[in-house]
């Protein structure tokens, strides 16, 4: 593997969700530890499952992996980090300032931006704490999904510039004094990230157009902020030998090879590795060692047992119609096919004569490419974070800023350059769509799970602020969060794959939603090999492993559920999308 050549101190694995970053990061950490190196494996993903993959409990402290000499692991817990950050800001002023002021500070610190910056504080400590860095030969980072990672890596520069000119005012992160102490550490973190002798970025993708496009976007954006040392790993490539004799497998192989041949030219210039598709589930240390090894593991049971018929997507669409309007949100880990399924449901509802607005908040949106056509009463849009942020900034400057003097307006403009502004702007666009669902179906292809939870957290913070400001005895206004909590107005569909890690992450998402009093309406298991009935030995083994996860969803996790088989041809275009959602 090229990315193993003379590895530097810091190795970052990043890419679109669902491409195998965690498996590759864990396998790399094992490889280096087996070679006699001292290695720290770190997850910065809000939906981290490193512990589950390694088969042990880790948590927010450095933990020795007893089964692997030289290996330790750490999962940064964003929520725990945020609470510590809030305590650091609020505790010194509690009892000193009036209760109403303290309550206002706590409300400012309840949003998603605070959580992200608090987790970032811990992340930078790992890059700059000599007692940690000197204790290990390598620190391997399993980073968050791409959007998170880009924001995370941009924050050192963004906050350094933001703090240099600040004059002690408060932002949505609370008093700036809580951040000013970290300026030297942020500067050191930027230097470490941009030093190719210390840091290497491994872009992870699958042989799929969307994940390669996302890898290319990540490559260009990170290169622009000085992250130059980049490699590309294409994970889970089906070999020609394993595809022989199976029409489905040959179609998959042909599709993958055509996609690789059309890879963006900027990616082709990078050092590239391909990791073959494995027949086994990548959970447990022996399996992780096998990911980067050519040595075959002992074969597993490959017979596909008889199972009762699984409900299809069409059966869910029948139940979605209800009053002929409403918000339908497809949520889940990146890479599970939310865009395709959102488009399929939208096309079918429009084909039945309903007015439909299909939209996405995913930074890697590719709805237009998926649809390849139009229908009557059917509109498509995207919440573009950059566009919405500029619109919000201009609105604030035109309203609040119009009454300020020159110095006050300059301070306001400075505050609007903080990373929190995008969160507020996207939330406002999201709220507009929720209101539109009173008149038509609004189908939302949400961003990967981490982004979605940040968006809902912003919604929750707004809800709490409205409730706090409402006079006692008065009827509070209907907030976006209230609409999300009302199953008559909003139906949340959790999308997953029939694999251990995606199902675990979808279950964690469901728990997070329930804590916000949002009850998922149904689950969709997408791209199932078991229901596609492959005949190749490798795909049959993978298909056999799916049934335990399908049964888990059906028996313990979902009130309603459906399974969508893996398609021999990509479901692109209105006709093929319509076929997914029809009996």
Instruction: Kindly list the catalytic residues.
Output: 18, 20-23, 45, 501
Tokens of 187: 């500067």
Name the E strands within 44-111.
Answer: 63-64, 71-75
Nearest Cα to 243, choosing from 499, 567, 537? 537
Question: What SS3 state is found at 139?
Answer: strand
Nearby residues of 135 by Cβ (< 8 Å), 6 or more positions away:
38, 40
Distance (Å, rounded) from C-alpha 275 to C-alpha 208? 14
Q: How far apart are CA 416 and CA 404, in angstroms?
A: 15
Residue 569 to residues 13, 248, 251, Cα–Cα distance (Å): 30, 9, 7
The DSSP 8-state label assigned to residue 94 in this structure reads B
For CA atoms 189, 190, 192, 193, give the dihedral sign.
positive
- Determine how many CB atoms are found less than 10 A away from the CB of residue 314: 16
Q: Are 62 and 74 in contact (CB under 8 A)?
A: yes
Q: How far apart are CA 408 and CA 291, in angstroms?
A: 57
Residue 219, φ and ψ in degrees, nearest 5? -55, -50
SS3 content of the chain, % helix, strand, coil (to 5): 50, 15, 35
The values of phi and psi at residue 19, to 5°, are -95, -5
Handedness of CA 105, 109, 113, 116 (dihedral sign): positive
Q: How far is CA 313 from CA 329, 534, 565, in A?
A: 15, 20, 10
**DSSP tag of 400:** G
């Amino acid at each position: 593997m090229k990315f193993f050549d003379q590895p530097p101190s810091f190795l970052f694995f990043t890419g679109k969700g669902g491409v195998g970053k965690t498996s590759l990061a864990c396998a790399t950490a094992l490889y280096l530890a087996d070679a006699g190196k001292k290695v720290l494996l770190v997850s910065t993903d809000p939906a981290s499952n490193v512990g589950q993959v390694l088969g042990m409990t880790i948590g927010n402290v450095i933990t020795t992996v007893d089964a692997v000499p030289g290996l330790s692991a750490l999962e940064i817990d964003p929520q725990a980090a945020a609470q510590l950050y809030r305590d650091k800001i609020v505790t010194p002023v509690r009892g000193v300032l009036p209760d109403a002021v303290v309550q206002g500070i706590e409300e400012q610190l309840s949003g998603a931006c605070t959580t992200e910056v608090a987790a970032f504080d811990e992340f930078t400590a790992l890059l700059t704490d000599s007692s940690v860095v000197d204790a290990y030969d390598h620190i391997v980072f399993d980073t968050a999904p791409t959007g998170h990672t880009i924001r995370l890596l941009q924050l050192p520069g963004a906050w350094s510039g933001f703090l240099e000119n600040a004059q002690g005012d408060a932002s949505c992160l609370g008093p700036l004094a809580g951040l000013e102490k970290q300026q030297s550490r942020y500067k050191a973190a930027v230097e470490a990230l941009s030093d190719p002798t210390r840091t290497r970025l491994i872009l992870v993708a699958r042989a799929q157009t969307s994940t390669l496009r996302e890898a290319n976007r990540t490559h260009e954006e990170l290169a622009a902020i000085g992250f130059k040392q980049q490699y590309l790993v294409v994970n889970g490539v089906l070999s020609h030998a394993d595809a022989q004799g199976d029409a489905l497998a040959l179609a998959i192989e042909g599709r993958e090879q055509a996609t690789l041949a059309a890879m963006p030219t900027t990616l082709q210039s990078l050092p590239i590795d391909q990791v073959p598709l494995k027949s086994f589930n990548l959970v447990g240390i022996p399996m992780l060692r096998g990911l980067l090894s050519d040595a075959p593991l002992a074969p597993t049971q490959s017979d596909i047992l008889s199972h009762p018929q699984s409900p299809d997507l069409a059966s869910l669409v029948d139940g979605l119609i209800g009053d002929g309007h409403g918000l339908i949100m497809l949520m889940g880990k990146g890479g599970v096919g939310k865009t395709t399924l959102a488009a399929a449901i939208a096309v079918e509802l429009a084909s039945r004569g309903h007015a439909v607005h299909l939209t996405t908040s995913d930074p890697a949106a590719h709805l237009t490419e998926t649809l390849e056509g139009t229908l009557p009463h059917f509109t498509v849009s995207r919440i573009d974070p950059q566009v919405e942020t500029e619109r919000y900034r201009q609105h604030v400057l035109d309203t609040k800023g119009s009454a300020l003097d020159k110095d006050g307006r300059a301070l306001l403009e400075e505050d609007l350059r903080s990373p929190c502004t995008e969160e507020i702007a996207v939330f406002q666009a999201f709220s507009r769509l929720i209101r539109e669902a009173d008149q038509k179906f609004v189908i939302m292809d949400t961003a990967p799970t981490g982004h979605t939870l940040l968006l809902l957290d912003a919604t929750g913070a707004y809800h709490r602020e409205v409730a706090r400001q409402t006079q006692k005895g008065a009827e509070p206004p209907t907030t976006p969060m209230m609409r999300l909590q009302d199953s008559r107005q909003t139906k949340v569909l959790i999308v997953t794959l029939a694999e251990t890690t995606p199902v675990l992450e979808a279950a964690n998402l469901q728990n997070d939603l329930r804590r916000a009093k949002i009850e998922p309406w149904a689950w969709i298991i997408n791209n199932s090999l078991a229901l596609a009935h492959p005949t190749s030995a490798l795909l049959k083994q993978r298909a056999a492993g799916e049934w335990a996860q399908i049964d888990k969803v059906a028996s313990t996790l979902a009130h309603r559920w459906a399974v969508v088989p893996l398609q021999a041809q990509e479901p692109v275009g209105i006709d093929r999308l319509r076929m997914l959602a029809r009996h």
